[in-house]
Chain A
């Protein structure tokens, strides 16, 4: 088969790298000598290769070998090298997993056991009627001032909305951190 331009392009690498038989190589040489296009193609590639071969060589940084040795020591010591972003990702994953496990552990308890603390009753004495703060136009009432006393000492004082259930013996529930049950006598 005679060498034409298509065949020359298709088998150029074999020609260039000396992988053709002697006969075929002679045909290719003959074609290159006669065809200006293929001759130019061959010349361009040879010149390009020449330029590639003389490109300035890259050199590693001065600390290349010390860094490499350091890494190899770590390998000897069995230390796992992990890139920082992978470490951060791993830590975040472990954190999320731990929170998830804790949530799974507490969820049944949170659903079934009410979180309620019963404290001992504390007597709260509502001040006499004369000392009841009179609601003003700007405050919704009725309000009572109440104090929690231990003997004569005032432990806590505050105001509460009074909603009497009975005129005789009303019970006042004071909103506080704990349940407070108090009996109040308003004096009427």
Chain B
């Protein structure tokens, strides 16, 4: 029954899809389209954000599989509460706020069970467990080794940051969010964002400094 209903809804929205290409719309317009009855608009939003959210959550919690689960949970929550979204705000900030809260909850739960955290970090850090990747042939084997080693060390350095600092650091350095957006996503003041970011950078520099000399 579910599939039939969805197919019907998709067919109904098919005609409308022909009128406006969803890919050309910004997030706010997609939300409006979805609330206006075009289900495909939500799928477009999911397409836009799932990779970014996966990487953000993965860098925050350090467990790839769990990160994927949390991205799914993020979309389910967005889907449930999209009608409550304030259109005067940025959609990306809203969805990152939800993802960030889920990641924080995950870290909090893990801190009650340190063994789980250790296993997750170990699993993700061991080079042998990584899938094979095609490398750039323009580098010599030594360069490739050094490059891979550096990447791993940088990932480790991020994971070693204290939780509060890490979220801010990842949002700024990897997601390119502004201070204001980070403040909104994390629910702390602008001053705290700056302070945490500065400390995170300081710590990061201490960890990777010896490797980059």
Q: Which residues of chain A have a CB within 8 Å of any CB of chain B?
A: 9-14, 16-17, 19, 40-41, 43-45, 47-49, 51-61, 64-65, 67-69, 71-73, 75-77, 81
Other than A17-B179, A45-B205, A58-B64, give 6 A-B pairs with Cβ distance below 8 A. Answer: A13-B198, A48-B204, A51-B154, A56-B133, A56-B151, A68-B50
Given the known A-B contacts A14-B194, A47-B212, are A64 and B174 also in contact in the complex, defined by CB atoms under 8 Å?
no
26 contacts between A and B (CB under 8 A): A10-B198, A11-B198, A13-B194, A14-B194, A19-B179, A43-B212, A44-B205, A44-B212, A48-B208, A52-B158, A53-B173, A55-B151, A55-B154, A55-B155, A58-B64, A58-B67, A60-B54, A67-B72, A68-B72, A71-B72, A71-B75, A71-B76, A73-B2, A75-B76, A75-B80, A81-B76
Residue in B closest to A53 when the chains form the complex, CB atoms: B174
A51 CA / B208 CA spacing, docked (Å): 11
Task: Assess the A44–B208 pair: CB atoms within 8 A.
Answer: yes
In the complex, the answer to whether A52 meets B174 with C-beta atoms within 8 Å is: yes
CB of B71 within 8 A of chain A?
yes
Q: How far is B155's CA from A59's CA once the two chains are assembled, in angstroms?
A: 16
- A60 pairs with B198, CB closer than 8 A: no
Q: Give the distance to chain A from B193, nearest Cβ to Cβ, in Å.
A: 9
Distance, CA A40 to CA B5, complexed state (A): 62
Residues of B participating in the A interface, judged by any CB pair closer than 8 Å: 1-3, 5-6, 42-43, 46, 50-51, 54-55, 58, 64, 67-68, 71-72, 75-76, 79-80, 133, 150-151, 154-155, 157-158, 172-174, 179, 194, 197-198, 201-202, 204-205, 208-209, 212
Q: How far is the CA of A71 from the CA of B72 in the complex (A)?
A: 8
Residues of chain A within 8 A of B158, CB atoms compared = 52
Q: Whose C-beta in chain A lies nearest to the C-beta of B153?
A: A51
Least CB separation from A9: chain B residue: B202
Nearest 6 Cβ contacts at the A-B interface: A13-B198, A51-B154, A73-B2, A44-B209, A48-B208, A13-B197
The residue that B51 contacts in the complex, of A44, A59, A81, with Cβ under 8 A, is A59
A76 touching B5 by the CB < 8 A rule? yes
Q: Which residue of B lies closest to A11 (CB)?
A: B198
* Majority DSSP secondary structure for residues of B touching A: helix
Query: What chain A residues lie within 8 Å of B79 (beta carbons)?
Result: 72, 75
Residues of A within 8 A of B51 (CB): 57-60
Q: Which residues does chain A contribute within 8 Å of B150, judged by CB atoms?
A: 51
**Chain A-chain B contacts (Cβ-Cβ < 8 Å), number:** 102
B46 engages A77 (CB within 8 Å): no
Q: Which of A48, A58, A65, A73 sits near B212, CB closer than 8 Å?
A: A48
B131: shortest Cβ distance to chain A, in Å? 10
Q: Are A61 and B174 in contact (CB under 8 A)?
A: no
Please report the C-alpha to C-alpha distance between residue A61 and residue B54 in the assembled complex, in whole angstroms: 11
Contacts of A69 in B (CB 8 A): 43
Give the residue of A16, A41, A58, A75 whose beta carbon is less than 8 angstroms from that of B55.
A58
Q: Are B151 and A51 in contact, CB atoms less than 8 angstroms apart?
A: yes
| Neighbouring A residues of B1 by C-beta, 8 Å | 77
What A residues does B64 contact at CB under 8 A? 58
Also in contact, A58 and B54, with CB within 8 A (given A68-B75, A72-B76)? yes
